[in-house]
Structure 1
């Protein structure tokens, strides 16, 4: 099967505007990523219209252009450089690749997985001097927080951010926390250290902050300071159970859909899940709404997973009556409800692997992963629910040119594109992350119906 990059390039050379419009979300994706890396947007693709907020770490660390020599290198030369650098570095290097990375990057990864798996994977290579994270900015930050002081975390392209992560910033969350403190009657400045719950058994806090892994280090530190925790799509249910044991309710940010879908599957009524819009007083709620709340959902979302619709599921079932539909919980609730199963990228991978030969499976997640699963399981018919080729535009920024350039730097003793998290931020964020790592994902049932 051709790669997503090849399919996009093929679409970009199509002869008619109609063909372009119906095959890829943005034909500019066929251009090399460095063409767009100096622009203040997330790049062509699903989130092309989203300007990067000026105050985010991703905006303040905009890269320069990839050196011209690397822009001009052929695929063969880039491959040779990457392989040579890996051989030269040996065990001093570990490359982590997220499932959503393009195939030509995954090919070089020592570990491939979702954010929970990769956070653990980095801990298994204590001899590695360099952790090269082929993912996005918040993932590299997390690796730096969990790494030893003498380890270096590299993000091949600093423009690889996340529009969802930028939908919740520290100032907005702090402001929401102060408003909630007035409603629930607690001191917003009170810090809850790592051992507080053990010293106060049975005491529940008015609200527990829970941030999705897709958030910046400052928000993970916020959770660490206030008795909260980080979750991933793999362990979101375990994390919410942990939080409900220790708090009356949860403030869940930045992805509303993961929070809603997880809490709904646990039996929390929608009437007890108000939305918090940071641009409105009390998030657009009344005090009565907030008093009755069990999960307060931040107004954030994933631009890729928001593309999936129930109409796409209906079309898949009409074309393939025996189709099984599995989607990511970042999809809107009606899509999750209409699917046969929903869960993390690892659950989706396992769902496909466990399906009987000859099965037809429609998947609602990032197209690079879907395309790879189809190639890995030729005995099954596997396709993306969204017929338009639209990869995660920020994950897509990790190009072999950037990987070769950063790896060449390691061989030469240069730490190019190193990610540093402020030590004070890292101290508090580590508390929330260690709680996350202890909250093991539950068995991969996926809520199959």
Structure 2
């Protein structure tokens, strides 16, 4: 089920108007009051890309899988108010206990990348790939995918990957089958496979809209099939951005996320996961300059956290992730007040059969990293 279907089929309510008239100070005071009142009954994980107005109330910050795992370990919490996007809350629901409720403060907080691979497209594409290549393919999916895609991968012998462990998981996958189908982000798949020594001409792109391969050579030579999906934020960092910076400020180090294109990663000084970016800048010498190719809320936070360094976005025109920004202070307050009133709105609940196989895909990864 897509995010749009989820919203249309849910009993989601819209933010009441009176929250829009409250001052920031009033909302912050009320959230703090409710956090203190509910104590361990409520747990608020916040993704690195969230706004500061939300992150200030997070019990823990991190990447999507890390937050889901921490939520699962926090068995005292009755309510997990997940400040991230839809697929992240799904993963938290899969891993947390039956007695815990995972809530997404705004159901419109989706992920365009995750929505680029729906289950119907994937099953149709898989059928075509099996007809073309036979039983030689193992599917891998980035954790930035829907629960249904994770479930498909788990049921077909594959596993999930993160941007931190993608290389290790591709190495494992090649011990299982001759070819890999990588969903839904073509750039992470391409960059990781290239780092493993797979030539670009051994990678084909599967277009789920046109239901065909984008490949000009002999398909029998293909070792990696890349789903035609991408992150709308990271795809906006360009070679032009790098060339401009090299020409005008050559002393600046460029560090990017592997969701950026192969050309951008190749021309950057460093590339790695969000955790890698945070740690690299944190460990850098004072006085160094860093152009960062990732989401703006995180870049702005790194700028504030490291005043001894110059940290800025590689793309000066970059905006924060629009869907991640759906989670804001008014929605967080509204969610907490409904919980106080024993109401549960915008609960994320993954169907048991889907959750079963999605957890298999997650566990196959966790066993190897």
TM-score range (shorter-chain normalised) is over 0.9
Pick from 67, 90, 102 the counterpart of residue 16 of structure 2: 67
The alpha carbon displacement at 1:64 in A equals 3.5
Note if contact 1:312-1:385 (Cα within 8 Å) is conserved in structure 2.
yes
The alpha carbon displacement at 1:74 in A equals 1.1
Distance 1:435 1:77 in 2: 46
Pick from 329, 337, 344 the counterpart of residue 273 of structure 2: 344
Q: Does 1:395 align with 2:324?
A: yes
Deviations 1:334-393 (A, max 9, x none): 110011110111110011011101100000000110000010000000000111140100
Pick from 25, 39, 54 the counterpart of residue 105 of structure 1: 54
- Aligned CA distance change for structure 1 residues 377 and 350 (closer, same or farther; 3 Å): same
Alignment partner, residue 177 of structure 2: 247
Q: Does 1:434 align with 2:363?
A: yes
Greater shift in the superposed pair: 239-248 or 262-271: 239-248
Note if contact 2:54-2:327 (Cα within 8 Å) is conserved in structure 1.
yes
Distance 1:55 1:417 in 2: 13
TM-score, with normalisation over the residues of structure 1? Answer: 0.79
Alignment partner, residue 187 of structure 2: 257
Runs of 4 or more, structure 1, over 6 Å off, are none
- Aligned CA distance change for structure 1 residues 365 and 271 (closer, same or farther; 3 Å): same
Alignment partner, residue 107 of structure 2: 158
Note if contact 2:151-2:354 (Cα within 8 Å) is conserved in structure 1.
yes
Q: Does 1:299 align with 2:190?
A: no
The alpha carbon displacement at 1:147 in A equals 0.7
Higher strand share: 2
- Aligned CA distance change for structure 1 residues 324 and 108 (closer, same or farther; 3 Å): same
Pick from 156, 159, 163 the counterpart of residue 233 of structure 1: 163
Corresponding residue SS for 1:321: coil
The alpha carbon displacement at 1:123 in A equals 2.5
Corresponding residue SS for 2:127: helix
Note if contact 1:58-1:137 (Cα within 8 Å) is conserved in structure 2.
no
Alignment partner, residue 317 of structure 1: 246
Deviations 1:222-274 (A, max 9, x none): 01110011112122112211211211111011110010011111111101110
Alignment partner, residue 331 of structure 1: 260
Say how many residue pairs are matched: 369
- Aligned CA distance change for structure 1 residues 439 and 392 (closer, same or farther; 3 Å): farther
In the TM superposition, what are the counterparts of 1:44-443 in structure 2 within 5 Å? 56-57=5-6, 60-61=9-10, 63-186=12-135, 206-285=136-215, 288-289=218-219, 291-440=220-369
The alpha carbon displacement at 1:135 in A equals 0.4
Q: CA RMSD in A?
A: 1.8
Corresponding residue SS for 2:348: coil
Corresponding residue SS for 1:276: strand
Distance 2:104 2:340 in 1: 16
